[in-house]
Amino acid sequence: MNRILNVLYEERLGGPQLRVLQVARGLKVHGYETIVALPKGDPPFAQLLAQHGISFRELNLVRPRRSFDPRLHARFALRFWSNVAELRQMIRNERIEIVHTNGLANLQAALAARREGVALVWHLNDVFTPKLLRAALLPLVRRWADRIAVAARAVTDYCFPGDSRLAERIQLLYAPVDTQRFNPRVDGTRVRRELGIAPDCPLIGLVANLCPGKGQEYLLEAAPLVLRRYPQAKFMLAGARLENRRAFWEGLQQQIARLRLEGEVIFTGRRSDVPQLLRAMTVCVQASESEACPMAMLEASASGTAVVATRVGGTPEIVEHGVTGILIDPREPAQISRAVLHLLDAPAIAQQMGLAGARRMQERFSLEACVEAHARMYGRALSHAGSLEPANVSALPPAEFVEDVYSRN
């Protein structure tokens, strides 16, 4: 059994964490055992790993933050090398053969893998890294990674435009959607009863943690235009309220008051019944300003719910405009309202798009396909291991540089 160390630096439960969990369960039949390293302070994810029998270890992992708080920068700089040491020790103790690190700016696991001489998979999953940081870190990815995983073709275009030399090392890994949990057969009636929403009431929803960049404010801005034609409509924002994003939450409350939407907007908080939430929706909106491969959109499409999504990053690879959903420009509330009204005005078309989306998810984005892609990638990483140069510490950008770039962008 080949042993993989999958390192996550985000302390909140979200798409990358769910991908790691789902894939780890399926990889066992392919001869790969996954051990997860995660930051302390994410009980829901740790509980899910324990529940499904996935080994994990909680470390004091740090990551660069977009913040002007010098305490966060100091913590990152002080903990960086101890993170590397902890991960190196873990590689040795657990007899790790492959390290899978997530995120361009999260260098600790990549450096630990290279110093220990094990295979390295470097997973790139965003399209909004500051230009200076890309210039400093992408050369390390090219030199050190045995395989480069990308969450969408848009990530390849963003990070390595026109670089055909890397083609043999790049692996496209769309996030998986569990079509056993998310499918048109799921019943959303209970959720509507719980929320007090009549069966024939239009329900427009958005699933994402309440934080900047996910576009909740644009959906709210579009709501009055929808309510003019469908005054009985309701809007649901499903996602966790984050303690470190209190200002964003307060801004949403002020916006609701300004637009006179009191009683029209439902905040569900974090939910474990997302399949039922999605089936309760008439239309699911993804209004993000940037995305690589949004899990919520995959799950909504798999559920057979009509979708409206912003044309950013890898979203056009998920949603086929006019066939499985409607694509719009980001930060355009008027386009959101027009797309939502089009689907509400033509329920037969909305249903047709939803079912086409469910078929597309089953054919191209299933969990089984994702697990098999991971297994192929790990096999090639093992075959390639040792052919690249060892880590050169002097080539690393200082931790202060990484933090400074993030704080200024």
Instruction: Extract long-range pairs of 41-46: CB within 8 Å, 24+ residues apart.
Output: 41/11, 42/11, 42/12, 42/13, 42/17, 44/13, 44/270, 45/13, 45/17, 45/21
Average pLDDT over residues 369-387: 91
The answer to whether residues 356 and 375 belong to one domain is no
pLDDT surpasses 50 at 53: yes
User: Which of the two residues, 403 and 65, has the higher pLDDT score?
Assistant: 65
Average pLDDT over residues 289-306: 94
Burial state string for 253-286 with b = 16 or more CB within 10 A and e = fewer than 16: eebbeebebeebbebbeeeebbbbbbbbbbbbbb
pLDDT surpasses 60 at 403: no
Q: Which two tokens stand for residue 133?
A: 């940081």
pLDDT surpasses 50 at 353: yes
pLDDT surpasses 80 at 397: no
85 falls within a domain: yes
Chain position carrying tokens 């192929």? 376
249 falls within a domain: yes
User: Which of the two residues, 189 and 244, has the higher pLDDT score?
Assistant: 189
183 falls within a domain: no
pLDDT score, position 77: 85
pLDDT score, position 409: 47
Q: Which region among 83-87, 121-125, 368-372, 391-395 has the lowest average model confidence (pLDDT)?
A: 391-395
Specify the 3-state DSSP secondary structure of 104: coil
pLDDT score, position 154: 94
pLDDT surpasses 70 at 246: yes
The answer to whether residues 138 and 261 belong to one domain is no
Q: The domain spanning residue 307 has which CATH number?
A: 3.40.50.2000
Counting the structural domains of the chain, the total is 2
Q: How far apart are CA 184 and CA 187, in angstroms?
A: 8
341 falls within a domain: yes
Q: How far is CA 112 from each of CA 10, 97, 119, 121, 136, rounded to the nearest angstrom? A: 18, 12, 11, 12, 18
User: Which of the two residues, 387 and 75, has the higher pLDDT score?
Assistant: 75
Which H or E run contains 284?
strand 283-286
Confidence of residue 15 (pLDDT cuts 50, 70, 90): confident
Q: Please report, rounded to a whole number, the percentage of residues in the chain having pLDDT higher than 90.
A: 76
Confidence of residue 398 (pLDDT cuts 50, 70, 90): low
Q: Which region among 22-36, 220-234, 275-289, 386-400 has the lowest average model confidence (pLDDT)?
A: 386-400
pLDDT surpasses 80 at 234: yes
Q: How far is CA 73 from each of CA 62, 64, 78, 108, 406, rounded to the nearest angstrom? A: 10, 7, 9, 15, 10
Range of the domain at 305: 189-364
The answer to whether residues 394 and 353 belong to one domain is no
pLDDT score, position 121: 98
pLDDT surpasses 80 at 396: no
Confidence of residue 134 (pLDDT cuts 50, 70, 90): very high
The answer to whether residues 147 and 233 belong to one domain is no
pLDDT surpasses 70 at 408: no
pLDDT surpasses 80 at 11: no
Q: How far apart are CA 241 and CA 262, in angstroms?
A: 18
Instruction: Extract long-range pairs of 97-101: CB within 8 Å, 24+ residues apart.
Output: 97/2, 97/3, 97/4, 97/382, 98/2, 98/3, 98/4, 98/5, 98/378, 98/381, 98/382, 98/385, 99/4, 99/5, 99/7, 100/4, 100/5, 100/6, 100/7, 100/149, 101/7
The answer to whether residues 108 and 256 belong to one domain is no
Confidence of residue 147 (pLDDT cuts 50, 70, 90): very high
The answer to whether residues 94 and 31 belong to one domain is yes
The answer to whether residues 208 and 252 belong to one domain is yes
Strand partners, 285: 308
Q: Is 124 within 8 Å of 159 (Cβ atoms)?
A: yes
pLDDT score, position 120: 97
The answer to whether residues 17 and 120 belong to one domain is yes
pLDDT surpasses 80 at 406: no
Q: Is 192 within 8 Å of 203 (Cβ atoms)?
A: yes
Q: Is 383 within 8 Å of 376 (Cβ atoms)?
A: no
The answer to whether residues 28 and 96 belong to one domain is yes
Q: How far apart are CA 172 and CA 77, in angstroms?
A: 32
Confidence of residue 218 (pLDDT cuts 50, 70, 90): very high
